[in-house]
Amino acid sequence: MTAESPDPSHRGELRVSHADREAVVELLSKAAAEGRIDLTELDERLEQALTARTYADLKPLTADLPSEVPPNAGKPLVLKGGLHGVARVGRWQVPAKITAYGGMAGVKLDFTRTDCRLPEVEIEVHGQMAGVVIVIPDGWTADTGEVDPGMGGLKDRTTSDRLPGTPLIRLTGTGGAAGVVIRHPNGLERRKLRREQPR
């Protein structure tokens, strides 16, 4: 049995990464430059951000700050699973608009190693015969309300806690015959990510 994403009610207990801390530091520094917080408060929040251990530690530091960042839309990406399948994994440039057709062999979109600073990414999904699987990092959230589940259905296994500076993944389209799955990394994927982190 493969471990899936954690229970949303316990997500705040998860450990944060260096990238999570850096995203909060960047947002705090920007807020100070814009006059939203003074230098004394900046110092206090930065110290807490740099020593944060869990998502619950980080969330209050930016709860009263806007999280929008300047968008860089890029060229729309169209992926077609066809007969052999297609995947975007590893480090790849994320555009603001993606269309994924599952075809006969499926499409997988893995965002866990990307450095995406867009406020929102729209993904139009068409599950067709083999389906579409989307994997997003902890701290990213998804809006799946506009997806027609079709025969294959829609499985949304994401949590609702969004970290500052991370995109909202907005899904549209249809599950088709095979369906659409959006989730956070499973147990095996988490272990691979941990092995890749610098020590």
Least confident of 21-25, 77-81, 127-131, 179-183: 21-25
CB-CB contact of 100 with 125 (8 Å):
yes
Q: What pLDDT sits at residue 4?
A: 46
Lowest mean pLDDT among 11-15, 32-36, 105-109: 11-15
- Cα separation, 99 vs 106, in Å, equals 13
What is the residue-wise DSSP string for 38-105?
-HHHHHHHHHHHHT--BHHHHHHHHTTS-----------EEEE-TTT-EEE-SS-PPPSEEEEE-TTT
Per-residue pLDDT band for 31 (boundaries 50, 70, 90) equals confident
The verdict on pTM exceeding 0.85 is no
Residue 184 is classified by DSSP as -
pLDDT at 110: 97
pLDDT in tens, 52-83: 998 889 888 988 887 554 455 678 999 999 99
